[in-house]
Chain A
Amino acid sequence: MRTNDVVLKTATQLVTFIIIIFSIYVFLQGHHNPGGGFIGGLMTAAAIILIGIAFDIKTVRRILPFDFKLLTATGLLIAVLTGIGAFIFDATFLTHTYDYFYLPLLGKTELATALLFDIGVYFVVIGVTLTIIFTIGEDS
């Protein structure tokens, strides 16, 4: 019989958002401060696993109704394509560049193509972590 874990569930609903926002913050600041795709991805995965612990894996599957293996593949594809994108500009594989843009609200912002590569890493880390945890978790 399952105990009444209302405190855990309520806390999870609140904390998950904080973790995810913090993980995205860590992910975005990776170029100039400690952080980046790997640690950001791990934190996001941790938030999703917290939901899995507080509720159950079925709930997570309902919130994120796609195959995590394909998330990994998508991440890999993004990372490789950013590398190949350099071919268009007659540069070697994985050549990255950056420029400054004026965005609404944010003002002058440095945007680097390395961020696109990092998005790939971010997805791969989330996909791999969740695939490992849920494959073991669903094994009965």
Chain B
Amino acid sequence: MINHLIIAPLLIPLIVGIVLLFLRHNVKTQKVISVLSLTAMLVATVLLLFSVLEHGVQTYQLGGWQPPFGIVLVADSLAVLLVLFTAIVALACLLFSIRGLDQERKAYFFYPLLQFLITGVVGAFLTGDIFNLFVFFEVLLMSSYALIVLGGEKGQLRESLKYVLVNVISSALFVTGVAYLYSVTGTLNMADLSNRIAEIGQPGLVTVIALLFLVVFGMKAAIFPLYFWLPGSYSAPPPVISALFAGLLTKVGIYAIIRIFTIIFYHHPDITHQILGGLAAITMIVGVIGAVAYQNLQKILVYNVVAGVGYIIFGLSSFNEPGLFGGIFYLVHDMLIKAALFLLVGAIIVITRTPKMNEASGLIKHYPLLGWAFLAAALSLAGVPPFSGFFGKLMLIQGGFYAEQYWTVGILLLSSLLVLYSVMKIFFSVILGEEKLPTLKERPNIKGLLYPSIILLFLSFIMGMGAEWVYPYVADATTTLLNPDIYIEAVLKE
């Protein structure tokens, strides 16, 4: 009996995206179908998650070809967990876009592009083949190119040029890396790659290739020296699209880094993971420096994305159970909370009509729900106990102590403080304070813009309060990451 559930989260957005191309002039139908399809995808992913927890890692051989000869989709806990949160974040952004995006953009293929973006993200999470990973990276990047430039404003055109340039270069390096790896090992399947590299014991050449992959994925994930494109690119498009990008795109890069450094290149952690640790520490510092420095709402959040990347990579670099557990927990928490924050800032911008912080204040008087939701999101981001950010960071710190990376732990704590400062700065100056709005006569109605982010915040709250319910899934993902044999045996059985 074949479990078609594994490919369902990939196929649903693909087919729906194609169908939506035919319905271009009927925006209303597009909305309905998009919401239905993402809900279906969410349900399928939840079922898949239960099945993975019950029966272990599951594989799906495309075209019936045995690995390592064919392409295989691998559903382990980490991948399915990320697919689940992708579906949640995408659904929230979709619900926001119904009221929060202008009609023009919606008529120009916003919904199909959203579906194709999700196809790429989900495919990148599920695939077990390194070249297929490249293809899905391109699928999601192509969609993101179109989404970033959609609308054709001056800033968008300028930033999309940079974004496309950077990603074309990193994709070319990706292909180069795959070519090197293929000429050393002669295979592209990740499980088989892992076996063969274990046989030859990761000589210096393979470590060089590993670092080339670190450059490639680091450029996608925005870790320290390669993050320069992100602040501009992510603050150019409308808030919904930024929320999608911040919630999903950098996370795919992080996932790829976690995947390859736990399953393929794990033989010389003294070199690779040491470098990862150093880069993670600097990424945290750079992220919070940016977050503290700016007075622009979107820029502050964008630099918080960079800081978040640093925390997760730090979890990987400590390479022990609590560290990886914290990294994964923080990764899924970060997807939720970054999307929620970007959507809340989107609602704030609808009211104030400016992303600048000092031009408006005192929103709490007429928008109390927005104000308190923002406070909750800010506390969750910083890691205050009732919310999900706390548990992830706690485990990250524990992992850091076990790995004796005391300096980086110190930097993490300090940067958490500054992250809190950067978002509370928004809270105090825009939400609280004397009421000052650009146009007081007509107060914009933000009905329908708040509930997607409140759903996300509620989930974050549940993840924080009920960390015990989330624990088995994340623990299972951690076990698979620390024991690559589970993954390899599931893929290359018999």
Q: Which A residues are closer than 8 A to B by beta carbons?
A: 69-70, 72-73, 76-77, 80, 84, 87, 90-96
Contacts and interface: CB of A to CB of B under 8 A. Distances in A.
A136 to B, nearest CB: 15
Contacts of B63: 92-96
Interface stretch (B10-18, B87-95, B341-349, B375-383): B10-18
A95 B15 CA distance: 17
B261 interface: no
A92 B60 CA distance: 7
Nearest to A67: B24
A90 B18 contact: no
A72 B24 CA distance: 13
A72 B21 contact: yes
Contact of A93 (B11, B18, B21, B24): B11
A88 B129 CA distance: 26
A94 B15 CA distance: 14
A91 B64 contact: yes
Interface in B236-272: none
21 contacts: A69-B21, A70-B21, A72-B21, A73-B18, A73-B22, A76-B18, A77-B15, A77-B18, A80-B15, A84-B11, A84-B15, A90-B2, A91-B2, A92-B4, A92-B60, A92-B61, A93-B4, A93-B60, A93-B63, A95-B63, A95-B64
B21 A94 contact: no
Nearest to A97: B64
A93 to B, nearest CB: 5
A87 B18 contact: no
B62 interface: yes
Interface in B58-105: 60-64
Contacts of B21: 69-70, 72-73, 76
B7 A77 contact: no
B9 to A, nearest CB: 13
B72 to A, nearest CB: 10
A13 B59 CA distance: 53
Given A80-B14, A84-B11, A92 B2 contact: yes
Nearest to A93: B7
A56 B238 CA distance: 38
Given A80-B15, A92-B4, A93-B4, 13 more contacts: A70-B21, A70-B22, A76-B18, A76-B21, A77-B18, A80-B14, A84-B11, A84-B15, A87-B4, A90-B2, A91-B2, A92-B60, A94-B62
